């Protein structure tokens, strides 16, 4: 059975446990290496979908990019408690551009 995880600050992710997702707390003052190691561990533990708050993903962009071209796990950015930063939409836009060769979401070339 496939598993899904959510990474981020506690206020942003605690509600996901009610939906059956495994939550993993990484606070804003934690070292970035902690987030990188957790993402690696989750990807090696049969998590097929890993949601990460935009604010956390912004701290580890190189690690997020490592998973962008892989089939599994799918790393998906979500807004946190502080609101939408636009990083998630930007990541989707970038993936679409790579897949089809142009920006079909906003119609710009």
50: domain CATH number? Answer: 3.40.50.10580
- Quick check: is 107 in a domain? no
CB burial readout 63-75, b (16+ within 10 A) else e: bbeebeeeeebeb
Can you say whether residue 75 is alpha, beta or left, with left for phi > 0 and alpha for psi between -120 and 50 degrees? beta
- Quick check: is 108 in a domain? no
Q: Is the pTM of this model over 0.85?
A: no
Q: Whole domain around residue 70: which residue ranges?
A: 3-100
Quick check: 92 pLDDT over 60? no
Q: What is the pLDDT of residue 82?
A: 72
- Quick check: is 109 in a domain? no
- Quick check: is 70 in a domain? yes
Q: What total number of domains does the chain contain?
A: 1
Average pLDDT, the chain: 83
Please enumerate in sequence order all residues whose Cβ is within 8 A of that of 75, keeping only pairs 6 or more positions apart, or say none: 39, 50, 52, 57, 64, 67, 68
Query: What whole-number distance in Å separates Cα of residue 96 and Cα of residue 5?
Result: 23
Helix (H) or strand (E) holding 76: strand 74-78
Count of residues making up the chain? 109
pLDDT, one tens digit per residue, over 5-38 is 999 999 999 999 999 999 999 988 999 999 999 9
CA torsion through residues 6, 70, 33, 37, sign: positive
Quick check: 81 pLDDT over 70? yes
What whole-number percentage of the chain has pLDDT above 70? Answer: 75
């Amino acid at each position: 059975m496939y598993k899904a995880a959510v990474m981020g600050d506690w206020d942003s992710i605690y509600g996901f446990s009610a939906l059956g997702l495994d939550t993993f707390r990484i606070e804003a003052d934690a070292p970035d290496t902690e987030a990188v190691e957790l993402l690696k561990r989750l990807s090696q533990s049969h998590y097929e979908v890993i949601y990460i708050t935009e604010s956390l993903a912004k701290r580890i962009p190189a690690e997020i990019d490592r998973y962008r071209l892989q089939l599994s796990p799918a790393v998906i950015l979500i807004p946190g408690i502080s609101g939408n930063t636009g990083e998630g939409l930007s990541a989707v836009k970038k993936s679409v551009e790579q897949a089809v060769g142009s920006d079909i979401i906003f119609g710009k070339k």
